[in-house]
């Protein structure tokens, strides 16, 4: 993934986290100190390398701070759908080429036979 795409995604994640913090502060579900802790922990996760790295880091953040679980799910769903579509396309190519074993390996998520 190119740098510009990751910068765009990082900005989206930052805005989403900021909105979560603001909402939780407004609703008194979080103290200022807790908000600062979440923000500091998020900053330690930067820079984000790619979508997988993003999801891994957001998952960890959501485990430590339950208020960010929705943010993880928001970003995980499109990534998982993209991954699913890539696998389906790869499986289709293998089937068209008569490489059924390779298609099955992709479906199972195992390394493809040589």
* pLDDT of 113 above 60: no
95 in any annotated domain: no
Per-residue pLDDT, 83: 87
* pLDDT of 1 above 80: no
Number of residues written out for the chain: 114
109 in any annotated domain: no
Q: What string of H, E and C letters represents the secondary structure of 43-82?
A: HHHCCCCCHHHHHHHHHHHHHHCHHHHHHHHHHHHHHHHH
112 in any annotated domain: no
Per-residue pLDDT, 6: 84
Token match 């799910």: residue?
73
Mean pLDDT estimate for the chain: 90
Full residue range of the structural domain in which residue 64 is found: 3-78
Give the DSSP H or E segment for 90: helix 69-96
18 in any annotated domain: yes
- pLDDT tens digits, 16-46: 999 999 999 999 999 999 999 999 999 999 9
* Domains identified in the chain, total number: 1
């Amino acid at each position: 993934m190119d740098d510009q795409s990751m910068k765009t995604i990082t900005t989206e994640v930052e805005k989403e986290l900021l909105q979560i913090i603001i909402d939780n502060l407004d609703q008194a579900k979080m103290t200022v100190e807790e908000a600062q802790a979440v923000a500091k922990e998020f900053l330690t996760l930067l820079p984000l390398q790619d979508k997988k790295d993003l999801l891994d880091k957001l998952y960890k953040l959501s485990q430590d701070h339950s208020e960010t679980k929705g943010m993880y799910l928001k970003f995980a769903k499109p990534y998982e759908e993209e991954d699913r579509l890539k696998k389906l396309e790869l499986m289709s190519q293998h089937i068209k080429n008569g490489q059924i074993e390779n298609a099955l390996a992709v479906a199972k998520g195992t390394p493809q036979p040589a």
